[in-house]
Structure 1
């Protein structure tokens, strides 16, 4: 799983699309954070702080890629059974962190810009190291979430390096979108963006949770490996276009165990319900205006 695996082109593309969508969502979220910090520093006449902001961003991105590579590719040195345990635990941790961040962003999106500006004002008064730390923590939080989410996703689709490539391409798209937003070329309705992508992440996380449950069943930590909830493999073609998409992005199996189905449905209902309820308490916001006066 840690090398380029010979796969059909549709399977590779689907795996890259799934991770690419994650990269766009998480990358754009981080990009908004960077955009607010940079714009505020420029408008405050503190361009000397920009180098510390970019150093913090670079350190956070390095941490994200390093975390993914160490966990994902480090498993090649252990037995297949131990790899199942590592994959299962990593998937559960990823789901827990992604759940927290999705629900937190749902509530915090309305005031995150003000919080960042306030934090940067205090950091600039302290010095460059404080600005570096603020940027690293602000972006690193997104990066660590993305790394763990991608570990679970890459494990579930068994796509070698393809999910990582898709993630990086998605982040490139996110950088372009952030730059266009920064220059005022586009306007984004952040409320709708985080709502739709949040729902997407919840479904993806549910699939990763189901994968983690099965991995722990294989290892023996959870019961019910042979208790199949349903089996549609007689007519469901997992190699067809719909099977590739459902498996590559949402980790759907034609013969899931009962415990997998319970975990998937329970997660979508509970977390999806909380996501909707938290959104109702936040007043809708119009599209974000261009950042005028920022060079």
Structure 2
């Protein structure tokens, strides 16, 4: 859970800090430092609102638990989080290059109109979006115990690393392009999303919401049990210990969605998810190539006409 929390908070906090940093740096560059305080005001209000959302979310989850329906809520959260995490990776890959230009354009309009409220609202919405997404993802990886994720070392470390990356980026000392950063972290986020999808399917099968053609495709408990309890049960039943401990299994389950005894549906969903992501990536690359090639082809045709 802590590794998941670290990656999620790193991505979300970095995106928020980059946008706020771009705004404040631009305001200083165009000699409008007096507006900087309003940007930070919006960001601070968004952080407070995100804490409120976390408390409200926890209250709602407690209500579902009291009604005995928390399992259904957990499943819904996991499936929606899978979609949101996947969308987040693609959105950042598409907009990271033009983010600076887009944000500065909005600030120009706010400065020209003297729209202080617009600056506050813009920074508020930017940070709030990341905060709400973080709350939702924490609910997914902790099965509803958002407080556990917020209090762990993963969330704090993710924020600290994001702050450091942002600092070095705006100081001009960071040589690695942000696009590379987002590609690497995006790959881990995709793994987390796939793991959440598989866990959702496993929970649906546990409560009988969906069946299974083959409940256990294989059994790797002898090698790597997915939980310390499974480790203890294996020792009890077989008299020998698995090669790796259950703590290692918990780590891989949290990060990659590992299961020592997956059903056929889990295996298909896991592989299918990566196939869909791969197809989406390749199709987007094809569309971008087509967009780049069209002007080049048109220029060549025009040149040929002029020669003739």
TM range (shorter): 0.7 to 0.9
Where structure 2 has 5 or more consecutive residues not aligned to the other structure, the ranges are 229-244, 290-308
> Structure 1 residue 204: deviation in Å?
0.5
1:277/1:31 CA distance change after superposition, 3 Å: farther
* Aligned-pair CA distance for 1:211: 1.5
RMSD: 2.8
CA contact (8 A) 1:207 1:264 kept: yes
Structure 2 equivalent of residue 55 of structure 1: 41
The answer to whether the 8 Å contact 1:106/1:278 transfers is no
Decide whether the 8 Å contact of 1:64 with 1:147 is kept in 2. Answer: yes
Instruction: State the shift of 1:36 in Å.
Output: 0.6
Aligned to 1:231: 219
Q: In structure 1, what is the Cα distance between the partners aligned to 2:216 and 2:141? A: 23
Distance 1:94 1:257 in 2: 22
**Matched residues in 2 for 1:103 and 1:217: separation?**
30
The answer to whether structure 1 residue 169 and structure 2 residue 175 are counterparts is no
Q: Which has the higher contact order (CA 8 A, sep 6+)?
A: 1
Q: How far did residue 199 of structure 1 move? A: 1.0
Matches within 5 A, 1:103-182: 103-124=90-111, 125-155=113-143, 161-162=148-149, 164-165=151-152, 166-182=154-170
- More helix per residue: 2
Give the aligned partner of residue 51 of structure 2: 65
TM-score (norm 2): 0.77
The equivalent position to 1:43 in structure 2, one of 18, 24, 29, is 29
Q: Does 2:257 correspond to 1:271?
A: no
Structure 1 stretches of 5 or more lacking a match? Answer: 1-14, 283-295
Matches within 5 A, 1:183-222: 183-222=171-210
Residue 261 of structure 2: which of 255, 265, 268 is its match?
255
Q: Could you state the TM-score of these two structures normalised by the residue count of structure 1?
A: 0.80
